[in-house]
Amino acid sequence: MNTAKEKAIEIIRNLGGIIRTQEAFRHGIHRRTLYGLRDKGALFTLSRGVYQLSEMDNTPTEIDLANVAKVAPHGVICLISALSFHGLTTEIPHEVWLAVERKARKPKVTYPPVRVIFFSGSCFPEGIEVHRIMEQDVRIYNAPKTVIDCFHWRNTVGLDVALEAARSYLKQRGASPAKLMEYAKLCKVEKLVTPYLEAMVS
């Protein structure tokens, strides 16, 4: 017969290897069992009240994205983190870039480090994809939307990053200059983006 700790580990595995304290209690894991697993090293603390199975072999990036999505499910992975996810930058994100609606409350994420960017208007809900990472739904802007977001936030990420992303995107199979322009109009950077794109596709 499985012990309480073995059952708890199985539950956490089925949840993708990451669990929050209240989530553990809802799934019938006793406080003593949860903290016992932590004290024996079967779990380690990602942030206050968030634990991960030590056996998990996911990459640090996957773990970070899944952890942020669990704590801030209404946010969207954006800008440098989204570029990195789509393979559109040589930049290495040292924090998770997270978009939230301008009127939303800033999410409290103690780990990993998070850079919160407030998106406004129709620029927030468009271009969101949902990727399943460690049994967690992670909302990430698609590649063309991310490229245009970088132009919109060029003073934050750097125009060179936006240009590199655009070039990398246009080299990808199935790249759509028309889709870039569609998002450029939506995010009101059409005049800025047009000459750069014309030069790249000519």
5 by Cβ neighbours in 10 Å (0-12 / 13-18 / 19+) ranks as middle
Give yes or no for residue 175 having a pLDDT over 80.
Answer: yes
Mean model confidence pLDDT for the chain: 89
Task: Encode pLDDT of 141-150 as tens digits.
Answer: 999 999 999 9
Q: 101: which strand partners?
A: 119
User: pLDDT tens for residues 59-69?
Assistant: 678 888 988 99
Other CB atoms closer than 10 Å to residue 62's CB: what's the count? Answer: 19
Q: How far is CA 36 from CA 29, 45, 57, in A?
A: 11, 13, 22
Give the CA count within 13 Å in the CB-facing half-sphere of 97. Answer: 22
Q: What is the pLDDT of residues 13-44, one digit of tens each?
A: 888 788 888 889 999 999 899 988 988 888 88
Chain mean position to CA 98: 7
Cα–Cα distance, 71 to 78 (Å, whole number): 16
**Residue count of the chain:** 202
Tens digit of each residue's pLDDT (9 = 90 or more) over 109-125? 877 889 999 998 889 99
Q: Which secondary structure element, helix H or strand E, spans residue 68, and what is its range?
A: helix 60-71
